[in-house]
Amino acid sequence: MTAQIQHKTPLPVIFNALGDPTRFAIVEYLLKRGECTVGELAEPFSMSAPALSRHIKILESSGLIERRIEKQWRVCKLRIDCFSGLDHWLKRYMDFWNTSFDRLDNFLDTLPEQANDKSEDGTA
């Protein structure tokens, strides 16, 4: 029996948060830059501060980022542990497709050589 990994945030909530192009770009920006102030996060986006703040709040409530206050700045950083659920979910599908392609390869290897020759010269 395989153990199930418990996630604090359900995957649909994470996918919903990442489904918005602006929020996805914020996550990508944080992946490249590490910790950033909200002001630094606003630089690449042409949107109002309240709009950016709403995106940050959604990412924070989904568990993808955390925000803290340092003096007068609000600093954001990714919560990498939240991405482990995505990694686990993606690994299951990678395993499925790799197994499926391996079975297809094995099946194609069992086909008679004559069928392979016909398909190569386009006369199948």
Predicted pLDDT at 68: 92
Report the predicted TM-score, pTM, of the whole model to 2 decimal places: 0.70
Predicted pLDDT at 87: 83
Dmax of the chain from CA atoms?
Answer: 75
Q: Going by C-beta distance under 8 Å and a sequence separation of 6 or more, which residues neighbour residue 5?
A: 84, 85, 88
pLDDT in tens, the chain (124 residues): 344 444 477 888 899 999 999 999 999 999 999 899 998 998 888 888 899 999 999 999 999 999 999 999 999 999 988 888 788 888 988 999 999 999 999 999 888 875 555 556 555 5
Residue in this structure with the two tokens 């994470």, named with its chain if needed: 14
